[in-house]
A and B are shown apart, each in its own frame.
Chain A
Amino acid sequence: MNPLALMALALQSIRQNWLRTLLTLLGIVIGVSSVIVMTSIGQGSQQQIVERMSSLGDNLLIVTPGSRSFGGVNLGAGSAGTLDVRDVQRLQQELRSAQYISPLVRLNAQIVGGVGNWSGSVQGVDAQFPEIRRWVVATGSFFGARETQARAPVAVLGDTVVRELFPDRDPVGERIRIGNVPFTVVGTLQAKGSSAFGGDQDDVVFVPWTAAQARLTGRLEVAQVMVSAPAASMLPDLEQEVRAVIRRSHRLNEAAEDDFSIRNQTEIMSVVSETSRALTLLLGSVAAISLLVGGIGIMNMMLVAVTERTREIGLRVAVGARPRDILAQFLSESVVICVTGGLLGAAFGMLVVWVLQSIVGIAAVVRADTLIVALSFSAGVGLFFGIYPARQAARLDPIEALRYG
């Protein structure tokens, strides 16, 4: 029989048992659509994570102070306070292969100005900081090297702070107070949104790190030093260089352990994106199980159909059907059901993804390969779970079959 005749035969028998077919179809629809929704969500969040991670800056080393124990209790990374202004200066003077260097001085303070006050994060950074962390100036400008050197009381506001304190006007030129210290706003930044770890990146005020030390913290320590390389391939060399400079600065001898640590941003990024890829795979496999369950439903239905149509099979054999005609008849029926279910499931899955994106606001990306994999998988399910019932049908003894029922 030609494929067209087989299709017609399959559709005919589907029409005759439309309710049963519809229910079985539902299993495949749910399976395929959940595969599509799950992998789309996984891939969407993966893409989002990679985007946000790269907004942290890439090719970046982050130097943090080591830990310190107090009465047997380790106070954790950064507690030693072993990074200070001297280390920063030596790094700035001695590093050859670094592209940008910026220390970070962190504090929380009450910010007063504009329409009220706001408790936010204040970060003392270098003029090169926007290049490292990919901040884009919205109005005014970022402070430069000269303000940094002069410990100038100038501030650049993140988008959240602007909206809280200056909802109605451009704050450039306005005066604010951080703690009790007056600063002048010289610029505002474009919003970056939430970070890869969920925090609001825009809830921040940047000031020159020298000014933060001199006017706000009154201490020489810095929380971290960011060093960026022109290319990812240079990171290992740069890491060695940074380690050597700080060890010299700290006068550590050969045997002593580092009293600081260096993290590689690119490594963290690849770990995170690896994790989210694994998550996508996990979501997809869980969804694939439901497709498998749908396939078992198909098999069940086809077995019932073979039993029900035993006499029909016997008759078809008696009028000249070959075993392979019977096999093809039942196989094409299960494949038609599965492919129909796959198409409906793909449409439904994309609808759900669209709703998630545009109404719920969950990042989800339907990729063409997801669709192709889901559809061919459902056709495969039809073949796999259809083959056993179809073989049962093709093996029927015609005399027994004609006597059946």
Chain B
Amino acid sequence: MSTAAAHVPADARAAPRSAARPLLLTRGLSKVYDSGSAVVALDGVDLEVAAGEYVAIVGESGSGKSTLLHLLGCLDRPTRGEYWIGDAQVSTLGADELADVRNALLGFVFQNFQLLPRLSALENVMLPLTYDRGRRQVDPRGAAVSALERMGLADRMDHRPTQLSGGQQQRVAIARALVNSPPVLLADEPTGNLDSATAKEIMAVFDSLNVGGTTVVLITHSADVAAHARRVLEIRDGRIVRETRRGES
């Protein structure tokens, strides 16, 4: 297992990157579900995301935005097309290498938080470090503590998820996504289960992370949330149909 870190493209983690080469790159990325009749969930998506970008993917349910995020997060494999993270072509990697990519390069935030109910906040945050085969964190506990402190949860470390509010739970989940210092943070409707006040709070967290240099890609169907991003991709029927860039603000 110790050799596994070799599969992680070292330069992909180095941020900020030169703008010449995008951090995430897809070419003709397609996903076809073969359940009886073939359903094309994603139809030849070409996407480039440079390091430090803040991207929102919007679209109606069934548009293919979740499929795209899952492919970007290496949770699913494309039927066709190529996907590069930095210099590594992820679409050809085996299961073990994909696990290493997820562990080292990607942080995931889910709509329903996905915290393990029987673990404390701190133990939840430490979870990715359990699978940190490169042993990049010398002090897993310390890394988890500082990630929680960054999320303003220093006094909630020993609480179980059920003892935390929705906003606090999502911040624990963000701390977990960040604990391995991945260059890319992927979020799947991160405010979908939160009231509008808490949603603003969480979006402020994403904003500040992006300012700190983390590339953020999130999917949402809320215009308010999409407004935080500097680049909005609208997806429909498995294709990117519109792209909006906001001026540097």
Contact = CB atoms under 8 A, between A and B. Distances in A.
Contacts of A5: 130
A317 B130 contact: no
Contacts, number: 60
Contacts of B4: 322
B230 interface: no
Contacts of A322: 4, 95-96, 99-100, 131
B75 A399 contact: yes
B103 interface: yes
Interface in A347-402: 398-399, 402
A320 B103 contact: yes
Interface stretch (B56-64, B108-116, B221-229): B108-116
B102 A318 contact: yes
Given A320-B132, A322-B96, A402 B110 contact: yes
Given A311-B114, A402-B114, A319 B128 contact: yes
B96 to A, nearest CB: 5
Contact of B99 (A311, A315, A317): A317
A250 interface: no
Chain A interface residue count: which class? 20 to 34
A325 interface: yes
Nearest to B104: A320
Contacts of A319: 102-103, 108, 127-128, 131, 176
Contacts of B100: 320, 322
Contact of B75 (A311, A318, A321, A323): A318
A253 interface: no
B73 A318 contact: yes
Interface centre among A5, A16, A323, A398 (most CB of B within 10 A): A398
A16 B76 contact: no
Interface in B63-106: 70, 73, 75-76, 95-96, 99-100, 102-104
A312 interface: yes
B27 interface: no
Contacts of A402: 75, 110, 114
10 contacts: A312-B116, A317-B102, A318-B73, A318-B75, A320-B102, A320-B103, A320-B131, A325-B131, A399-B75, A402-B110
Interface of A: 1, 5, 16, 311-312, 314-325, 398-399, 402
